[in-house]
Amino acid sequence: MQNGKIIKLVGGVYTVFGDDGIRYERKPLGLFRYRKIYPKVGDDVLFDAESITQLLPRRNEMVRPAVANVDHILIVSSCKEPTFSFQLLDRFLALVIHAGIDPVILVTKTDLMTEAEMEVLSGKLAYYQKYFPVFYTSAKALPGIPELREWFKGKIVVLSGQTGAGKSSILNTIDPSLRLETNEISKALGRGKHTTRHVELLRIGDGWVADTPGFSKLDFVGFDARTLHECYPDFLEHRDECRFHGCIHINEPGCRIKELVRSGAILPERYDHYQRLVEEIKATKPIF
Ligand SMILES: Nc1nc2c(ncn2[C@@H]2O[C@H](COP(=O)(O)OP(=O)(O)OP(=O)(O)O)[C@@H](O)[C@H]2O)c(=O)[nH]1
Ligand SMILES: [Mg+2]
Ligand SMILES: [Zn+2]
């Protein structure tokens, strides 16, 4: 019996990185399936000569991308191709925070922007910078790459974002020996082609980074509209200033958050995305 970390899953076969530094291919014991235990990339496990025999407790986990025990999720958003979306960013931030993982915003393809366009984008992102680390990078012009390489040290970091955002390209730039497959996004369709198809943890220095398949839709199944506001650090800061304890900042009188939205101290657009997400979650019937 040996300890290891799952670093890859393809077609039901897991690659386990043993504590001896060797990679092993294993499948979980049959009883995992019977008990509906599905190991994920990032999971710490016990394994023997034949199978993964035990899943060790998780510190956190995400559904999509399916990862566990990570330090950070880098929300990768391109400036252009695909177009930067603050709505997507706000939704993604909520999802990552809800999973108990620290988000980082990684803005890619800065080379496609004019100086004036960049000023507008970074001006808006300055608000986010008060709450989350924000990196600006480009696989073509290379700003931010040394900082990012330094920052990855000793951490388990997962890159996630829309398909075509440039996740694999950035990893290749940080470490060219990774040779990850990248692809042109289909401009005719206006969406990417899902070049990366599985989650895999890759060694960068003494840390791990995971490249993941891009997504086109975010799922909020299992979310509670009454607690969603806890995923917004900018709202949480003022939670004791609302008139009612447990205010979710929608229709309650004396809501400090709505006051701050009116004054512009909280980004109105971000609040609007929050409101829409509350409506969306309320409209979703729970699945039993
Ligand atoms: N101009 C420019 N193009 C980039 C940059 N980074 C990536 N691209 C291009 O964007 C396209 C998509 O890049 P990928 O790295 O494959 O994107 P991805 O996020 O890994 O996509 P999926 O694996 O489908 O999720 C490719 O054509 C890249 O060459 C960048 O910084 N600047
Ligand atoms: Mg990719
Ligand atoms: Zn309130």
pTM of the model: 0.91
Which CATH architecture is the domain 228-283 placed in? Orthogonal Bundle (1.10)
Q: What's the rounded Cα separation, in Å, for the pair 31 and 12?
A: 15
**Rounded average pLDDT over 137-156:** 84
Q: Tell me the CA–centroid distance for residue 53 and ligand 1, in Å.
A: 38
- % of the chain exceeding 70 in pLDDT: 95
Instruction: State the DSSP string of 143-167.
Output: TTHHHHHHHTTT-EEEEEEBTTSSH
Q: Tell me the CA–centroid distance for residue 263 and ligand 3, in Å.
A: 14
pLDDT tens digits, 242-263: 999 999 999 999 999 999 999 9
CATH 1.10.40.50 residue window(s) in the chain: 228-283
CATH of domain 67-211: 3.40.50.300
CATH 3.40.50.300 residue window(s) in the chain: 67-211
Which residues, 6+ apart, have CB-to-CB distance to 242 below 8 Å? 249, 252, 254, 255, 256, 257
pLDDT tens digits, 167-210: 999 999 988 888 888 876 544 445 546 677 788 999 888 889 99
Asked whether the predicted pLDDT for residue 287 surpasses 70, the reply is no
Atom of ligand 1 nearest to the CA of 184: 27
CATH 2.40.50.140 residue window(s) in the chain: 2-57
Higher pLDDT, 195 or 49: 49
pLDDT tens digits, 68-83: 999 999 999 999 999 9
Q: Tell me the CA–centroid distance for residue 269 and ligand 2, in Å.
A: 29
Which CATH architecture is the domain 2-57 placed in? Beta Barrel (2.40)
Pocket test for ligand 1, best of 106, 160, 163, 183 (most atoms within 8 A of CB): 183
- The first and second tokens of residue 122, run together, are 């970074």
Ligand 1 in contact with 203 (CB < 6 A)? no
Asked whether the predicted pLDDT for residue 48 surpasses 70, the reply is yes
Q: Whose CA is nearest to atom 14 of ligand 1?
A: 166
